[in-house]
Amino acid sequence: MNPRAFVTRCLALCLFLAAAGAQAGNATADEATAMVKKGVAFIKAQGTEKGYAEISNKQGQFIDRDLYLVVYGLDGTVLAHGANDKMVGKNLIDLKDIDGKAFVKERVEMAQTKSSFWQDYKFTDPVTRKIEPKTTYCERLDASVVCGGIYK
């Protein structure tokens, strides 16, 4: 085989593997923003009952690798949760991350003054099961806040 053709094929294979690896890895900020917007649109179109059920469905359209949606009422009650449906109905206003940050309280307070925002805290990555720095994009929707986060 021609050495130049061999190098070209090797580079093509490397690019393919890099693209496949990136797709299989963690979600991006753009993907989180897009998923939150898609979730908000779905809830608006289908109503809260169907919307929350779909968001909490682990096989549904709002789960992608380590990215999932969660919906909180502005009182801190979980209305939908893509990673842990056992949280639905629980008020987590006092929940704190490993550093003592009351991130749910902060989130609902931010949602009362902003229509959309990013928030940083630490949380357990559902894929690695390790506590990781996380940044979450949220949008207020009526008396709730719809969020999807990425691990840094």
Sign of CA dihedral 61, 65, 25, 103: positive
Average pLDDT in the 80-94 region?
A: 96
d(CA 148, CA 138): 7
For residue range 105-132, what is the model confidence (pLDDT) as tens digits? 999 999 999 999 999 999 988 888 899 9
What domains, with CATH codes, occur in the chain?
A: 26-151 (3.30.450.20)
d(CA 106, CA 118): 11
Q: What pLDDT score was predicted for residue 127? A: 82
- 82 φ/ψ angles, rounded to the nearest 5 degrees: -75, -20
